[in-house]
Structure 1
Amino acid sequence: MAQETDSPNRRARGRPRGWDDKTEQNTIKSLDRAMLVFEHLSRFKGRMLTELADDLTQSPATVYRVLVTLETRGLVEFDPAEQLWHIGPQAFVIGAGFLRRTSLVERARPILRRLMEVTGETANLGREQDGQVLFLSQVETNATIRAFFPPGTLAEMHSSGIGKVLLAQMPPERVAQVLASHPLQAFTANTLTDPPSLARDLATIREQGFAIDAEERNEGMRCIAAPVFDHSRTAVAGLSVSGPTSRVSEDKTEELSRAVLQAAQDLSSALGGLP
Structure 2
Amino acid sequence: MAKYPESEPRRQRGRPRAFNEKTEQNTIKSLDRALCVLSELAQIEGATLSELAQAMSESPATLYRVLTTFALHGIVEADEAAQTWHIGPEAYQIGSVFLRRTSLIDVSRPILRALMEQTGETANLGIEKNGAVLFVSQVETQAPIRAFFAPGTLSAMHASGIGKALLAHMDEPQINSFAAKGLEHFTEYTKSTLPDLTADLAAIKSRGYSLDDQERNLGMRCIAAPIRNAYGEVIAGLSVSGPTTRVTVEQVETLSTAVMRAANDVSRALGAK
- Per the normalisation by structure 2, the TM-score is 0.94
How many Å separate the matches in 2 of 1:161 and 1:39? 25
Q: State the AA in 1 paired with 2:20.
A: D
Equivalent residue number for residue 13 of structure 2 = 13
CA root-mean-square deviation: 1.6
How many Å separate the matches in 2 of 1:66 and 1:261? 45
Task: Please show how residues 153-168 of structure 1 align to structure 2 within 5 Å.
Answer: 153-168=153-168
How many Å separate the matches in 1 of 2:140 and 2:183? 28
Aligned CA distance change for structure 1 residues 173 and 144 (closer, same or farther; 3 Å): same
**TM-fit CA distance, 1:229:** 0.8
How many Å separate the matches in 2 of 1:12 and 1:130? 33
Residues 164-211 of structure 1 deviation map (CA, whole Å, 9 limit, x = unaligned): 00000112222233333x420111121111101000000000000000
How many Å separate the matches in 2 of 1:21 and 1:125? 33
Equivalent residue number for residue 85 of structure 2 = 85
Aligned CA distance change for structure 1 residues 67 and 206 (closer, same or farther; 3 Å): same
Aligned CA distance change for structure 1 residues 249 and 69 (closer, same or farther; 3 Å): same
**TM-fit CA distance, 1:2:** 7.3
Residues 230-271 of structure 1 deviation map (CA, whole Å, 9 limit, x = unaligned): 111111110000000111111110010011011001111111
Equivalent residue number for residue 136 of structure 1 = 136
Q: State the AA in 1 paired with 2:139.
A: V
**TM-fit CA distance, 1:59:** 1.0
Aligned CA distance change for structure 1 residues 114 and 11 (closer, same or farther; 3 Å): closer
SS in 2 for 1:227: strand
**TM-fit CA distance, 1:3:** 5.7
Equivalent residue number for residue 229 of structure 2 = 230
**TM-fit CA distance, 1:19:** 2.0
Equivalent residue number for residue 59 of structure 1 = 59
Equivalent residue number for residue 202 of structure 1 = 201
Q: State the AA in 1 paired with 2:271.
A: G
Equivalent residue number for residue 7 of structure 2 = none
Asked whether 1:260 is paired with 2:253, we answer: no
Task: Please show how residues 47-196 of structure 1 align to structure 2 within 5 Å.
Answer: 47-180=47-180, 182-196=181-195
Large movers: runs of 4+ above 3 Å: 1-4
Aligned CA distance change for structure 1 residues 42 and 2 (closer, same or farther; 3 Å): closer
Residues 68-87 of structure 1 deviation map (CA, whole Å, 9 limit, x = unaligned): 11111101000011111100
How many Å separate the matches in 2 of 1:3 and 1:11? 12
How many Å separate the matches in 2 of 1:159 and 1:33? 31
How many Å separate the matches in 2 of 1:272 and 1:24? 39
How many Å separate the matches in 2 of 1:45 and 1:220? 25
Equivalent residue number for residue 218 of structure 1 = 217
Asked whether 1:244 is paired with 2:243, we answer: yes
SS in 1 for 2:43: coil
How many Å separate the matches in 2 of 1:247 and 1:120? 9
Aligned CA distance change for structure 1 residues 28 and 142 (closer, same or farther; 3 Å): same
**TM-fit CA distance, 1:14:** 3.6
SS in 2 for 1:192: coil
How many Å separate the matches in 1 of 2:195 and 2:15? 45
Q: State the AA in 2 paired with 1:249.
A: T
How many Å separate the matches in 2 of 1:113 and 1:144? 18
Q: State the AA in 2 paired with 1:129.
A: K
Number of aligned pairs? 268
Q: Which moved more, 1:98-107 or 1:118-127?
A: 98-107
Q: State the AA in 2 paired with 1:265.
A: N
How many Å separate the matches in 1 of 2:93 and 2:167? 30
Identical-residue share of aligned pairs (%): 57
User: Structure 2 unaligned runs (5+)?
Assistant: 5-9
Equivalent residue number for residue 7 of structure 1 = none
How many Å separate the matches in 2 of 1:2 and 1:258? 51
Q: State the AA in 1 paired with 2:96.
A: A
- Per the normalisation by structure 1, the TM-score is 0.94
**TM-fit CA distance, 1:20:** 2.5
